[in-house]
Structure 1
Amino acid sequence: MELTKCKLGELITQRREKNDGSDLPICGVSKDGLIPPKQKDADTSIYNVFYRDDFIFNPARMELNSIAINDMYDRAICSSLYEVFYVHRTDLLLPHYLELIIRQKWFTRYCKFLGQGSAREYCRFGNISEIEIEFPPIEEQQKIVEYNTAIENRIALKQKINDNLAA
């Protein structure tokens, strides 16, 4: 199996769409994925819009892997402090395969290394774009994503069974 190697910036594009006043779901981001917002009465007119399979991240918390793929909403919004990007070369890289790469510890450490700033280090879209990754052909990526999803589903089912036994 031959791997392709390139910088993420060749595969992803930053989304810079602002909320047009639409009443959309509001999300925050943590290392565990999308979360409800902490501030519910904020002015959402400056919030960023994101779509299904977009990645949302907190540039000030990348050392904690505060990045998530949106697999919940067709369209939603997040704080303007977050940055949003999407895979524009889906012929080469599946968004959910990129999610598997992003969840690896080396990616988190590399984002921490790339962070810039004095009081708080920020790892922005431009930094992430410089990260070089290797990935297999689309068919292999799909198999890996499906296999990983099956494992996650089994773990969730076993956890649910354990929780029921403990109750």
Structure 2
Amino acid sequence: MEYKRLGDYIRGVNVRNRELKVTNLLGVSISKEFMPSIANTIGTDMSTYKIVKRRQFAYGPVTSRNGDKVSIALLDGYDDAIISQAYTVFEVIDHKQLLPEYLMMWFRRPEFDRYARFHSHGSAREIFDWDELCDVMLPIPSITRQREIVSEYETLTNRICLNNQMIQNLEATAQALYRKTFVDNIDKENLPEGWRMGTLSELAIITMGQSPNGETYNTNGDGTIFYQGRTDFGRRFPKARVYTTSPTRFAKEGDVLLSVRAPVGDINIAPHNCCIGRGLASLRCKINAQGYLYYQLQDLIAVFNVSDDEGTIFGSINKDDLYNIEIVIPKKEDISLFESQVSIIDCEIKLRDSEINKLTELQSLLLAEMGINN
């Protein structure tokens, strides 16, 4: 299919919030989504901010220090919003020739990010300016075919969102069950029969991570999957990105992975045997109750927050402090009963997460095919 110049299909928009009618302040993330702004706007003249409307785009021209991603997004969750003057707003001229949703799919392709970074220029900071954006070449099939492609992609997106919502509900249910059983109305001065105070190391086998030589790292799948810290953490399971040919400390499949450097206390579950770096510790329950251990660690967030506040400038927790965290240790029968209940929930969460990974792979495949099969 013949490639077309994007600038022939889009135009810049520069409408300011002069009358202060729009109050919904958003930013644009490198994940290519609009998000609520966290900027301090006290005393800021909001009348100079730009208005973006539904099915219009905004992007940040600065590409340096952006993780090789272009911050660009299509507004579809609101009728309108305001954004910083630093963003460029634009729109598709004729929706009968080019669907905004199809164009946004093109912007999500990693090839687009690589193109934008390559064509960025500047000394102090690199810019992918409006002229460069207009010079992007892309295939523009018939509007009917565009609708088909967008429909396929949105079907996958909706299924991913549904699974994420289900996981969130399941996790909330499991955490509520944990708190009802082991936290609410429990007096540490008068524990139930068979319960006692103890330390985390009495309940779990703890392995502190150790980073291999950096020269052994690779991203082509050579060696053992390696997690240095929380960088690769997901909602519950980390994503494999880096490998090492000289692994040092290990976590087994199912172990809880705990961030021991800023921010301390983030947790995931190892989906496979892996090597762990100094930013992580792995924990395995001594009584075969990994679900219980996972939710107990989630409930220790207040303890980990203290570690962040009182630690170094980076925040960390050392081996001795981690081993000696004081916890309530219920009797084994109570833990086992909870484990039998929560394991059903956790299995469903794992299945939903696996489906999300497969759907995400299908999305990536669909984006890749935009450049060759239209």
TM-score normalised by the chain length of structure 1 = 0.91
CA–CA separation in structure 1 for the residues paired with 2:17 and 2:168: 40
Q: Contact conserved, 1:65 with 1:103, CA < 8 A, in 2?
A: no
User: 1:96 aligns to what SS in structure 2?
Assistant: helix
Q: 1:100 aligns with which of 102, 105, 121?
A: 105
Aligned twin of 1:45: 47
Aligned twin of 1:26: 25
**Closer/same/farther in 2, CA of residues 114 and 139 from structure 1, 3 Å limit:** same
**Closer/same/farther in 2, CA of residues 22 and 4 from structure 1, 3 Å limit:** farther
Higher RCO structure (Cα 8 Å, ≥6 apart)? 1
Aligned twin of 1:130: 135
Once the two structures are superposed, the pairs formed by residues 49-68 of structure 1 within 5 Å of their partners are 49-61=51-63, 63-68=68-73
Q: Contact conserved, 1:27 with 1:37, CA < 8 A, in 2?
A: yes
Aligned twin of 2:323: none
User: 2:154 aligns to what SS in structure 1?
Assistant: helix
Aligned twin of 1:88: 93
How many angstroms does 1:4 deviate by? 4.6
| Structure 2 residue ranges without an equivalent (≥5) | 175-374
How many angstroms does 1:23 deviate by? 2.9
How many angstroms does 1:122 deviate by? 0.8
Alpha-carbon RMSD: 1.6
User: 1:158 aligns to what SS in structure 2?
Assistant: helix
Q: Contact conserved, 1:21 with 1:44, CA < 8 A, in 2?
A: no
How many angstroms does 1:105 deviate by? 0.3
Moved more, 118-127 or 39-48: 39-48
CA–CA separation in structure 2 for the residues paired with 1:165 and 1:74: 32
How many angstroms does 1:52 deviate by? 0.8
User: 1:160 aligns to what SS in structure 2?
Assistant: helix
Q: What code does the residue aligned with 1:35 have?
A: M
Residue deviations 1:21-76 (CA, integer Å, cap 9, x gap): 32311111112311112223222121111111111111113732211100122222
Aligned twin of 1:163: 168
**Identity value in percent:** 33
Residue deviations 1:103-131 (CA, integer Å, cap 9, x gap): 00000111111112111101122110001
1:76 aligns with 2:81: yes
Count of residues paired in the alignment: 165
Q: Contact conserved, 2:20 with 2:46, CA < 8 A, in 1?
A: no
User: 1:91 aligns to what SS in structure 2?
Assistant: coil
**Closer/same/farther in 2, CA of residues 139 and 66 from structure 1, 3 Å limit:** same
User: 1:143 aligns to what SS in structure 2?
Assistant: helix
**Closer/same/farther in 2, CA of residues 19 and 4 from structure 1, 3 Å limit:** farther
CA–CA separation in structure 1 for the residues paired with 2:167 and 2:52: 36
Q: 1:146 aligns with which of 151, 161, 164?
A: 151
| Structure 1 residue ranges without an equivalent (≥5) | none
User: 1:64 aligns to what SS in structure 2?
Assistant: coil
Q: Contact conserved, 1:57 with 1:82, CA < 8 A, in 2?
A: yes
CA–CA separation in structure 2 for the residues paired with 1:90 and 1:35: 25
